[in-house]
Amino acid sequence: MDKSAVQNGGDGARRSPWWWVPTLYFAEGLPYMAVMTISTVMYKCLGIGNTELAFFTAWLYLPWVIKPFWSPFVDIIRTKRWWVLMMQWLIAVSMASIAFALPASGFFQATLAVFWLMAFASATHDIAADGFYMLGLTDHQQSLFVGIRSLFYRISMIVGQGALVVLAAHVSASWAEPKAGWIAVFGILSAFFVAMAVYHSAVLPRPAQDSMREVKTMRGVFDEFVETFVAFFRKPHVWVAILFMLLYRLPEAQLVKMISPFMLDPVEKGGLGMTADEVGWAYGTVGVIGLMLGGIVGGLVASRNGLKRWLHPMAWSMSLTCLTFVYLAFVQPSAMWQIFVCVFVEQFGYGFGFTAYMLYLIYFSNGRFKTSHYSICTGFMALGMMLPGMAAGWIVDTFDYRSFFVWTMVCCVATIGVCYLIKVDAGFGKKKG
């Protein structure tokens, strides 16, 4: 009998990974985009100020910051399959709740509360989906489909940052009602996740490892939980590693919160005076394509020469490409092709530079508790995005966009500086043989 068929409970043919890996990771990316990006564009279009917008949406990173604290419970309570399906139903309800809350006069507070719920559901879905991927596939299949899962996650970014924002702009313009487009978007997303939950309940396999597990006592769970964290903080050079995790993305953490407001604000306020439709095409489509290509190139060169060889060039790539927004802020070009080129260059540089960051997290996580330690690393990554992002709107409102983007360039010193502190084995990341 085929090995994959045995692992999938005898349904290997019907439960082919092609039936569920692409859809699972497409569904994983969409709620993250909704919480992190669509919310920002929506609030800006609906008249929320930069300070409030950046401060409160930055708090939405918190579930990803603290997810290591409940990830062990996803391992021991029910199954990964159950968690995936339940979180997709909860995300569907959250999307519908936002659509219903938008017409209310206090929509900002109401939708923020729902976005919080969605963020926790999305972070939990990430834990369960990544765990299920490892349980539902053989080692060979995991290697084969790692590119597929990444591709469909990126496609969800194009849909979330691009197509859905464009759709919202067109519907709002057609109805002459700013909220109409966003109500339509979240209504569509809710229906999509209902469909995903129903679909995945039929096609997700039932791996033996996901259902036949040792039942641990609460004391055993607690002891293992503590041991996991103790082992992490006993790793060599752990505090330098944490500093790297917190500071490598310092410029981006602030930049990402203000890019959409900058593009949407009128020229007289220092912005580019773009429509939501144009922002969708610029940052959600052209930008994501640049991000994907940068990530591909970064992965290729890192696999050829290793992380240590490319760490500093990648850090410089993350930093220097931020100059494109300094240029946009000072010149304020009206030609869309100039804006598209700048966005593409910045996102390509970011995608290339981000490769080093993700490879280092994998490198530092190696050991007995590899999966849990990687989750802790991503928690520090999210914290490094959350805290600086909270102040971004205040900086813009206190000074201006030009000063803000110059400040992000100053912060690039931290990105480059921390790379000189960490230690990486010369052979890590190189292709064997």
Place of tokens 């928690």: 379
Chain centroid, CA 406 distance in Å:
25
The domains spanning 15-215 and 218-433 adopt the same CATH topology: yes
- Do residues 24 and 232 make contact, with C-beta atoms less than 8 angstroms apart? no
Residues 160-195 have pLDDT tens digits of 877 888 888 888 888 888 899 999 999 999 999 999
CA dihedral over 70, 76, 77, 79, signed as positive or negative: positive
- Do residues 57 and 32 make contact, with C-beta atoms less than 8 angstroms apart? no
Residues 310-356 have pLDDT tens digits of 889 999 998 888 899 999 999 999 899 999 999 999 989 988 888 88
Question: How many C-beta neighbours within 10 Å does residue 141 have?
Answer: 17
- Do residues 396 and 50 make contact, with C-beta atoms less than 8 angstroms apart? yes
- Do residues 29 and 369 make contact, with C-beta atoms less than 8 angstroms apart? no
Q: What is the pLDDT of residue 209?
A: 72
Mean pLDDT of the 5-11 span:
44
- Do residues 327 and 406 make contact, with C-beta atoms less than 8 angstroms apart? no
- Do residues 257 and 54 make contact, with C-beta atoms less than 8 angstroms apart? yes
Residues 224-239 have pLDDT tens digits of 778 888 888 999 899 9
d(CA 148, CA 23): 10
Domain residue extents for the chain: 15-215, 218-433
Is domain 15-215 in CATH 2.70.98.10, yes or no? no
Q: Which two tokens stand for residue 68?
A: 């290591």
Task: Indicate the fold that domain 218-433 takes in CATH.
Answer: Growth Hormone; Chain: A; (1.20.1250)
Residues 351-384 have pLDDT tens digits of 888 888 878 887 887 777 776 787 788 888 888 8
Categorize the per-residue pLDDT at 146 as very low, low, confident or very high, splitting at 50, 70 and 90.
low
Residue 177 DSSP class? -
Q: Which two tokens stand for residue 74?
A: 């996803």
d(CA 13, CA 414): 51
Distances (CA, A) of 303 to 28, 33, 310, 423: 26, 29, 10, 18
Q: Is the pLDDT of residue 306 over 90?
A: no
- Do residues 357 and 246 make contact, with C-beta atoms less than 8 angstroms apart? no
Angle at the Cα of 164 from the Cα atoms of 382 and 265, rounded to 5 degrees: 75
pTM recorded for the entire structure: 0.74
